Structure 1
Amino acid sequence: MMIAKINHLPTGVQFQTIDTLRDTVRLAGGLNKDNELSEESMTKALTAILRFGDRLRSFSPNQVVAVATNTFRVARNAKKFIDEAEKLLGFPIDVISGNEEARLIYIGASHIAPMCVGKRLVFDIGGGSTEIIIGDGHEPKLLESLPIGCVSFSQRFFSEGEVNEENFKAAQTAALKEIKAIAPFYKKMGWEQAIGSSGTARAIAELIALNGLSGEAHNLPVEETGGVITRHGLELLKKYLLETKHIERLNLLGLKADRKPVLPGGLAIMISAFEELGIEHMELTEAALLFGSLHHLYDQSKNDGHTKKIGILKTLFNSIGKLENLDTRHGLIEQLGKRFNVDEAQFKRVSETADFFLDQLSTFKKEDRKNNRRLLTWASYLHEIGLAVSRSDYQKHSAYIISNAELPGFSRLDQARLAGLVLGHNGKLNKLPISIGYIDWHLLFCLRLAHTVSRKREDDALPLIKVQQSAKGFKLKISKTWLEKNPFIQFGLNKEASDWKKIEWKYEIELY
């Protein structure tokens, strides 16, 4: 269960989670061969619902939405459970169809997934069904609900806990049979971004990242846990399961006890989807169905006249002229900055200067310069939010806040990159836990230099500063006369050169 506050941003509505209650029941596991829920599973679920009802006692009907999914679509005694559950919850429970579940999942994912230009594929493995959707923006275009799930498959193929070549192949074959039937339609429509939105997807991503199975080290100075699923990582995870032979012997970092029994079934379905749909790389979101249900409730109440706009924040990013208003992440970053009283004038100085430096650096192979420019601007905006905690090592506080903030729309990688830039914008470079493989050296150079030359917080015009990057170093050209009149900045630049040289990077300052 999720309770959220509505925030009205310049880019639309955002739901800020303020409370969550979670009780792992896995009702799909309580279905017997006759598709009847056991008394034990129903009692466990009703106990959880009783707690939920107590938490929601002060809410009115137009503030709550409760949905039931695949298990209640197939359970023969679903009505008996639903009737009792509604009494305990205090609100009606809607047993939604597979297509409606898919629609809500896509709507939720589209509001919290990393930004995408073009169509998006959303893949959600549930306990008894898997939803696959292609959409554009917030509108689903193609959706399907398949009768394959991590609980049902784990019970069907791995009921004794054993994992071997034979039963894993049988699970994959069964999953492929379902996915093959719809794959041609999905491949024909195509997509630019693949998103995993279920607990299974998030668990697999975390296992891949925490156990070094991704093969995509970014050497960031902050933790980046479970941001993506790759085909390579899936195969390595499968290999580990087959070598271990039994789920009780699994010894993987980040593997929770309640996830163990359903991991093999979920993994078999995920690998089958990657194989049949040709997916190579999948990013993650949080619980899309919950967010989608909230958006559906909000739209209904808005149409019924129960809500009204309570204010719009003016975005700071329009003045830069290089960032699209449609990117919902701008509003989130602005909201976070305002919470910590960002110095908007200093942001403008640092951001425009860093942007000017980035324009002078060559775009390297496969660089997403547009996304990097956004990250640099956001880092310029948030780099001083840690001052609200303490002046001492404020960049560490800033990075911690960014790393742990709820920022729907950001991939975990980009959120970690943003925190890494903020952490490194000031202080000694040789104290940062990064290596030559760090992917943002050029952005860090631009931000640190902009911070250094803007540190006096004055609006006086800077001289023309030219910058360039070599294989492992940077060079800047700056006016000798101006530096002589600004010894504070001159000292800062000399210290900056010394810091870069301590990590064996060239840093030349040429005077003109």
Structure 2
Amino acid sequence: MSAVLRPLDASATQEVAAVDLGSNSFHLLVARTNGADVQVIDRLREPVRLAAGLDADKRLQPEAAQRALACLQRFGQRLRGIPPERVRAVGTNTMRKLRQSRDFHAAAEAALGHEIEVIAGLEEARLVYGGVTHGLGRERPRRLVIDIGGGSTELIIGRGVRPRLMESVSLGCVVHTQRFFDDGEITPARFKRARLAARVELEFLERAYRKAGWDVVIGSSGTVRGIWRVILGQRWSDQHITRDGLERTVELVLTRRRIEDIDFADLREDRRPVFVGGLAVLAGIFDSLGIETMETSERALREGVVYDLLGRLSNRDVRDAAVAAMAERYGVDRRHASALSRTAERILDQVARSWALDGKLARQFLGWAAQLHEVGLAITHNGYQKHSHYILRNSDLQGFSLTDQRVLAALVRLHRGRFALEVLDELPTIWVEPVKRMAMILRLAYLLHRSRTPDLKPPLRVSANRRGYELEFTQKRWLEQHPLTQADLEREAEYLDRAQFRLRLLP
């Protein structure tokens, strides 16, 4: 389960850390916070090339897994002593693509010593934009941020610190090099095909992005910075990546017949094997969007993860805003959702210790589930919990990792009707029991508020045990006066019994 987030002490100096498990390189950033100031105190980077380790069936080859785990063990040593709630590790494109990933994911978390969140492409784009634009102010506010990674490229247009358009595209320096230059040979025809393929991949967004417009283009991450260093080293530009400098770099690369012949002095050794693929991607982006000049930034995803983590630690969790926006979009009955949430919290307070639930974390997820459990009503009432599950499982929810989103979707699916244990199959093992317990809490709160009686405060006492819970109403004859609730609870006892849980009503 995710670490509990305890608010930062604004008066104290504290360390926070971000780990970025990219498709080409793994990064670790450690920063020191003191009030509003954030100072980077350590960086580690290793060219793991995770994407290059995938076979045709998207399974990770043993050599690549070994490289990754060895790197994470080294990162884990650096992270010792930093409380887990101040560390956030995220996996990106290749981690998203991995098949049969549970064993590797578990081994990676054990090596690092921290939970690893696999994030969706649009969440990666949001974090990249936040990392690049943090502290830039509002001058020339319309920014196009482009981040070319090993397996994906994120393109974001935003105004100030707020992203407006976000896309994550399957273009990256590793996968593009593998696709067009897999045998190491470089020819003008191959490069032309690779460049055109990048533009074709971007065709679906070209019109919308050109229409939105921008004042400045900023490129981030190693691919862009590597090309920029070559251009500056050749003195084809004194500051930025220009179209002329980019075209000259293409011509320079084409004078090398093979990848191992790329020997530019200003290019890092570990960048050379994937340089030609990344160059073709950037050239295709320039062609697609008509870019003439691009600034570069040292900051990228890892900085965005740090700033986002600091927001959570300061009770400015972007996930709360994402849930509220979805509730509004689907016309959720806010008053009913709030009543459900309050009762769920009351039940949680009574059973958290017996069920070994993390109170703060469970309160977060129960609150989000209460707000969103009825989004499926926008489709139909019959079996709406299934529609709610589908919507939450497949929507882009800012701030949520893929696991967070699946946990939330599972809770919503389980809040009524048959206790469908099969929805737990896609969750990490560590989440299965907590989700079962939280679902039982949410189900009980839902039944107690099914009548939608305004200001209802059920006078209940709940005691939990390993198999289930016992329920007692402390107000005499309350249950007799609410026959629908009594019938629902009797039916709920049958549902839970089929799932090998027990609900017992005390007289």
Cα distance change of structure 1 residues 64 and 155 upon mapping to structure 2, 3 Å threshold: same
Residues of 1 paired with 2:198 and 2:58: CA distance? 20
Structure 2 letter corresponding to 1:194: V
Amino-acid identity (%):
44
Is 2:218 the counterpart of 1:195?
yes
Cα distance change of structure 1 residues 113 and 285 upon mapping to structure 2, 3 Å threshold: farther
SS of the equivalent of 2:46 reads: coil
Is 2:74 the counterpart of 1:51?
yes
How many residues were matched structurally?
290
Cα distance change of structure 1 residues 212 and 115 upon mapping to structure 2, 3 Å threshold: farther
CA contact (8 A) 1:113 1:285 kept: no
CA contact (8 A) 1:125 1:150 kept: yes
Is 2:282 the counterpart of 1:276?
no
CA-CA distance at 1:79 after TM superposition? 2.1
Task: Specify the alignment match of 1:144 in structure 2.
Answer: 167
Is 2:30 the counterpart of 1:3?
yes
Residues of 1 paired with 2:86 and 2:210: CA distance? 39
Residues of 1 paired with 2:98 and 2:300: CA distance? 24
Task: Specify the alignment match of 2:300 in structure 1.
Answer: 288
Cα distance change of structure 1 residues 304 and 57 upon mapping to structure 2, 3 Å threshold: farther
CA contact (8 A) 1:116 1:193 kept: no
Residues of 2 paired with 1:150 and 1:112: CA distance? 28
Residue by residue, what CA displacement relative to the aligned partner does 1:255-302 show, whole Å, maximum 9, x if unpaired?
222111100110001011111101111111113101100011000010
Cα distance change of structure 1 residues 304 and 128 upon mapping to structure 2, 3 Å threshold: closer
CA-CA distance at 1:245 after TM superposition? 1.8
CA contact (8 A) 2:31 2:41 kept: yes
Residue by residue, what CA displacement relative to the aligned partner does 1:98-138 show, whole Å, maximum 9, x if unpaired?
00000000011111668742210000001000000001111
Residues of 1 paired with 2:76 and 2:43: CA distance? 13
Residues of 1 paired with 2:136 and 2:258: CA distance? 34
Runs of 4+ in 1 over 4 A off after TM superposition: 112-115
Matches within 5 A, 1:361-380: none
CA-CA distance at 1:57 after TM superposition? 1.3
Residues of 1 paired with 2:45 and 2:289: CA distance? 32
Structure 1 letter corresponding to 2:269: A
CA contact (8 A) 1:113 1:195 kept: no
SS of the equivalent of 1:66 reads: strand
CA contact (8 A) 2:137 2:160 kept: no
Task: Specify the alignment match of 2:244 in structure 1.
Answer: 232
Task: Specify the alignment match of 2:233 in structure 1.
Answer: 210
Is 2:196 the counterpart of 1:173?
yes
CA-CA distance at 1:150 after TM superposition? 0.3
Residues of 2 paired with 1:208 and 1:7: CA distance? 38
Cα distance change of structure 1 residues 73 and 166 upon mapping to structure 2, 3 Å threshold: same
Residues of 2 paired with 1:153 and 1:112: CA distance? 33
Cα distance change of structure 1 residues 112 and 271 upon mapping to structure 2, 3 Å threshold: farther
Residues of 2 paired with 1:239 and 1:112: CA distance? 37
Task: Specify the alignment match of 1:83 in structure 2.
Answer: 106
Residues of 2 paired with 1:179 and 1:142: CA distance? 14
Cα distance change of structure 1 residues 245 and 114 upon mapping to structure 2, 3 Å threshold: farther
Residues of 1 paired with 2:173 and 2:136: CA distance? 22
SS of the equivalent of 2:96 reads: helix
Give the counterpart of 1:252 among 258, 261, 264.
Answer: 264
Residues of 2 paired with 1:179 and 1:4: CA distance? 35
Structure 2 letter corresponding to 1:142: L
More moved, 142-151 vs 103-112: 103-112
Per the normalisation by structure 1, the TM-score is 0.55
Task: Specify the alignment match of 1:124 in structure 2.
Answer: 147
CA-CA distance at 1:253 after TM superposition? 2.0
Residues of 2 paired with 1:282 and 1:28: CA distance? 27
Task: Specify the alignment match of 2:184 in structure 1.
Answer: 161
CA contact (8 A) 1:120 1:192 kept: yes
Structure 1 letter corresponding to 2:66: T
Residue by residue, what CA displacement relative to the aligned partner does 1:204-243 show, whole Å, maximum 9, x if unpaired?
00110012222xx5xxxxxxxxx42111011000001112
Cα distance change of structure 1 residues 258 and 112 upon mapping to structure 2, 3 Å threshold: farther
SS of the equivalent of 2:147 reads: strand
Residues of 2 paired with 1:299 and 1:46: CA distance? 29
Task: Specify the alignment match of 1:473 in structure 2.
Answer: none
Structure 2 letter corresponding to 1:120: R
CA-CA distance at 1:61 after TM superposition? 1.8
Residues of 1 paired with 2:263 and 2:255: CA distance? 12
CA contact (8 A) 1:116 1:192 kept: no
Structure 2 letter corresponding to 1:154: T
CA contact (8 A) 1:199 1:287 kept: no
Matches within 5 A, 1:29-68: 29-68=52-91
Q: State the Cα RMSD in Å.
A: 1.6
Matches within 5 A, 1:82-481: 82-111=105-134, 116-214=139-237, 217=238, 227-303=239-315
CA contact (8 A) 1:125 1:201 kept: yes
CA contact (8 A) 2:150 2:172 kept: yes
Structure 2, unaligned runs of 5 or more: 1-27, 318-507
SS of the equivalent of 2:163 reads: strand
Structure 1 letter corresponding to 2:177: S
Structure 1, unaligned runs of 5 or more: 218-226, 306-512
